[in-house]
Amino acid sequence: MRDFVVELGINEVNSGVGFGDWVEKPKGPELVSYSPIDGKEIARVRTASETDYEYVVEKAEGAFRSWRTTPAPKRGEIVREIGQRLRDKKKILGKLVTLEMGKIAAEGEGEVQEMIDMADYSVGLSRQLYGLTISSERPSHRMMEQWHPLGTIGIVTAFNFPVAVWSWNAMIAAVCGDTMIWKPSSKTPLTAIAVQKIANEVMKAYGLEGVFNLLIGSSKSVGEKMIADPRLPLVSATGSCRMGQRIGEVVGKRLGRSLLELGGNNAIVVMNDANLELASRAILFGAVGTAGQRCTTTRRLVMQEGIALKLTDQLIASYRQVRVGDPLDPKTLMGPLIDRDAAETMMHALKTVKKEGGELLCGGTLLEGKGYESGCYVTPAIVKAHPKMSIVREETFAPILYLFTVKDLDEAIAIHNDVPQGLSSAVFTQNVRAMETFLSPAGSDCGIANVNIGTSGAEIGGAFGGEKATGGGREAGSDSWKAYMRRQTATINYGKELPLAQGIQFGPTPSEAVC
């Protein structure tokens, strides 16, 4: 084990069930965490059984009954302390993200910073959970709309952002007065344990448990039970479209709520008048960052024909300079894919590209030999494509960039929108009309639309999520906090009469009543 893993309190064998304290011996099978860097075992986790699941849900439900009545600013103060602990552990936590997931060190630390930012955001939010005062049509009546905690929510996260996405949900849900149960990806259990340990320390200082809960386990023992459990009024899940369809179906059948952030097939449109230096940098980071394993990864590039050849040449030259290797090395620009299956999926996608008439312009090789023993390292690929290729309509979670050439903005938008997913999008242009058209109802059909910046790197102040097959959910900023609360319309009659709405008259007056 690496020294910094031990420093975070990760042992050779860890409990994967936490609720403020730890279940010493969960009854589920043992899970091994391997590093995609070298393929070696990091540590093992005892996973949750169905019995462990029931125990933790009871703890969360019990904690909710008192947590919901804690004043929101007090809840915010506790979240502020969690954010401070994350600050103290930023570098070492970032290293663990890199070791277990494979993203480069700068991105690993950036993910921890995102948790810190979400804590800060949620602290401010804890004093702004506002309702409305509404004019009543009845005299001597006051009508208002207020928000109450929702309950115990389920949080399902993916391997590519093993802790940041948890914070998008957990920090806001906590200040809203909810308790939560977190099911992390089985590919990145140790980062979840490390973050849960930090939350446990803070909650213990306040004599609390059961607000932040962790259940590491299989889809059968944890995942399927969560989505079918009526005690969890909301399930927030990040993952594939297929996973989202399953969750939406099961949660919807029990009339629960689901918040889904699913696949992305994001495109950048570059017009003839664009700043190509700016565009090429955004494309490179968007397509290569996190080895193409972001939901906001740039997967398609739509270029106006006047700059297509020049921009293509620039990108090929840049791609050939991308240093692939150990993500803990500060000189590395792209680390490994999460596992060998991911690398094989990329190779299969490139074979499909050739079958469908696409042309591989550079990259797309599986790296082997010294330093690449894990079988997870690839070189990022650029593919000359055409819109009729079925593979470009799919989200391949790997660094493959498809290039298209178009005549004008209308054709670019048509190609841009012609995929099932609708998460993030961008246009590079100096023309105000083109900018506004891209942002108009006739432009991008995505939940995120940018001008002269790339598709990845969303700020927490704006609600994050997408349309179509991306799920329609929104997390993080704006008014997304409302997803974690229930709305209540309340009316107070401070008069001496009982007028009905819509002027309805019903029954005799008290003086006319006959017993």
Catalytic residue set: 261, 295
Helix (H, G, I), strand (E, B) or coil at 497: coil
The total of other beta-carbon atoms located within 10 Å of residue 37's CB is: 25
Q: How deeply is 447 buried, as exposed, middle or buried, from its count of CB atoms within 10 A (0-12, 13-18, 19+)? A: buried
How far, in whole angstroms, is CA 514 from its chain's centroid? 64
CA 115 to the chain's CA centroid = 12
**Sheet of 381-384, strand order:** 359-362, 381-384, 400-406, 298-304, 266-270, 424-428, 448-451
Distance CA(89)–CA(116), nearest Å, equals 11
Give the Cα separation of 377 and 104 in Å (integer): 13
Strand 381-384 and strand 400-406: the pairing is parallel
Across the beta sheet with 152-156, the strand order is 17-18, 212-215, 179-183, 152-156, 234-238, 257-261
Q: What is the 3-state secondary structure (H, E, C) of 446-493?
A: CCEEEECCCCCCCCCCCEECCEECCCCCCEECCCHHHHHEEEEEEEEE
Six-digit token pair at 216? 């590491």
Cα gap 390→149, rounded to integer Å: 44
Other C-beta atoms closer than 10 Å to the C-beta of 80 total: 18
Where residue 291 falls (left for φ over 0; alpha for ψ -120 to 50; beta otherwise) is left
Q: Each residue of 377-395: b (16+ CB within 10 Å) or e?
A: bbbbbbbbbebebebbebb
* CA–centroid distance for 3 within its chain: 29
* Tokens 């936590």, residue located: 93
Backbone angles phi, psi at 334, to 5 degrees: -140, 125
The contacts of residue 32 (CB under 8 Å, 6+ apart) are 41, 44, 45
Q: Are 493 and 140 in contact (CB under 8 A)?
A: yes
